[in-house]
Amino acid sequence: MTSRFKSFPGTSLSEEDFAQGEVLFVHDALKAEYARDTGVGIGAYLAGLRRGVILGSYCSHCRKTVVPPRVVCEWCFRPMSEYVPLRDTGVVNTFSLCYVTWDVQRISQPEIPAVIVLDGASTLSETSVVMGGILHKLSEVDPKAVRIGMRVRAVWKPPEERQGAITDILYFKPIEE
């Protein structure tokens, strides 16, 4: 995916942008041009990724930190207006070994999508319906060695190549401990 955005994807689209059909993204494989307004929380998240920082939002009432950031706390429904940087390390919550690509081509080396609970993010409560962790993929690992509970670290794109997208993190890889 390439982009030709004016500033970064977290920037709100104006009425004029909509009227003019502003294109923020071009998907190379699908030849699809599109734009989207990310909103306040995800906009901050994407802008953070461009700087190499994973942001969560913090509720001072519940003392919960969630990632990606939300503008309203899902526990107490108060505004979550404070953004906090999280470490780019965490634990594999669940994963899959995927032997087909997104367009159903067979591959011999599996892609490994995984849900990763970042260090510093709050764990789930019994009342929450939200999955813990962010969805990304694992690499630099023997597929047979991947385990739930494995400690991992983000591998980032070089700063000059970041676009304000979750793909600014290339993948997560195991931490040797």
Binding residues for Zn ion, rule CB under 5 A, total 6
Which range binds Zn ion by CB under 5 A, 31-39, 40-48, 52-60, 134-142? 52-60
In the chain, what's the furthest Cα-to-Cα distance?
A: 53
Contact 93, 148 (CB under 8 A): yes
Of 53 and 62, which has the nearer Cβ to Zn ion?
Answer: 62
Contact 26, 40 (CB under 8 A): no
Which among 176, 166, 71 is positioned nearest to 116, based on CA atoms?
Answer: 166
Does residue 84 bind Zn ion (CB under 5 A)? no
Site string for Zn ion, 53-72 (x = CB under 5 A): ------x-xx----------
Among 44, 49, 54, 73, binds Zn ion (CB under 5 A): 73
Of 27 and 61, which has the nearer Cβ to Zn ion?
Answer: 61
Q: In 3-state terms, what secondary structure has residue 160?
A: helix
Does residue 75 bind Zn ion (CB under 5 A)? yes
Q: What's the rounded Cα separation, in Å, for the pair 49 and 39? A: 15
Rounded to the nearest angstrom, the gap between the alpha carbon of residue 34 and the centroid of all alpha carbons in its chain is: 19
The residue ranges that bind Zn ion (CB under 5 A) are 59, 61-62, 73, 75-76
